[in-house]
Structure 1
Amino acid sequence: MTRDSVIGQADLPCACAPATSAARIASIDRLRILAAIGIVWFHTKGAPGRQIAYAGLPIFLLIWFSLVASRDPLPCVRDFLRRAWDRLLAPWLFWSVVYAACKLVACVVLVACAALRATSYAIATVLVCLAYAWPSVGDSFVARVAPLTFGIYLIHPLAGYALRQSIAGALNPGAHVVCVVVMSGLVTLGLMHTPLRRCV
């Protein structure tokens, strides 16, 4: 056996590794595409089987959590909070201001119309509109998604830590069960979050 053939055989596993990794990522991307189709299907009114298509949302969450839990330990708390601000809180605050401004403009129009009928009705309309101006209240996409998104984003470091400690055998089984129950309860509360219906 020549030296070149030995070197070629030694390099073979390294040459195959990127293909395996690429195939794994491609599979995840295909699953994401299917999940996205399911979510669009669910939001299409009158589509057959749209309730089943809602499974696309938990599929997204499972993919995301599995990737996050397999990462290395998270950086310091300051870096984590900065990343949370850049990815979630800052965009949410920006669109909250835009959303609230649009609702206030709509309230002004309602008040102008109501003022032609009765002053008391106009005052009541102002109070109701102001109560529903902030996106965290009312039947809105921002109100439904934001609590769940923040909850999962804040829970996932604890979940990833518990998972890694459990695999390494460094976490007491009883403590692991408690962590799972608490985190599952918090996620369930986020999923069960039902905002108030707007009355105007």
Structure 2
Amino acid sequence: MKLEDIRREYLQDGLSEDMLDASPIKQFEKWLEQAVATNLPDPTAMVVATVDEHGQPSQRIVLLKHLDENGFVFFTNTGSRKAQELKGNNKISLHFPWHHMERQVIVYGEAKPLPTTAVAKYFLSRPKESQLAAWASAQSRPVSSRKVLMETFAKMKQKFSDGEIPLPDFWGGYCVEPTKVEFWQGGAHRLHDRFMYQRNADGSWQFGRLNP
């Protein structure tokens, strides 16, 4: 197999300035609705990129759980690597790779912790097994075996068998307030359509075309 020979043309669609909404949030909502309508598995899956104190980036896939004019919301264990890195540097990037639509969206911004009330509301909406998994997993930390993880899960299941599972004090969420948002649509001959929105000081947005 020769990797350099693997290629294809992107011919599904084009993207022009007159097709874009003035708000990147509304434009994103439009594209997300279209992604959901195609029955794409995990259309809300996004690659979250953070940076540690040494400047080393790390990435992982997280699910988008809420979106409004304030930004993009996700939840996580506050002891996880991403949460610890955001403590030192709250700059963040989100990437939505909708390959089958020949589209991608990249969000640049700052991650702001959510209030406990918002975190609790979401946590209590999760399936019971997911709530228990949050209690059982010291996310990002070493574990000797899956057996140990499952034993911890069983202990949590027994511990909270009599009632509502409380919000762990190590569970939190973030709202990514965007400063820039890029929309990418694949084009023939690698002449892709790219548009970058940038937030102005007054909170308004402007956008322009980028070279592919």
Which has the larger helix fraction?
1
Give the TM-score category using the shorter length.
Answer: under 0.3
Larger radius of gyration: 1
Using the size of structure 1 for normalisation, the TM-score is 0.23
Using the size of structure 2 for normalisation, the TM-score is 0.22
Which has the larger strand fraction?
2
Ranked by relative contact order (alpha carbons within 8 Å, sequence separation 6 or more), the top structure is 2
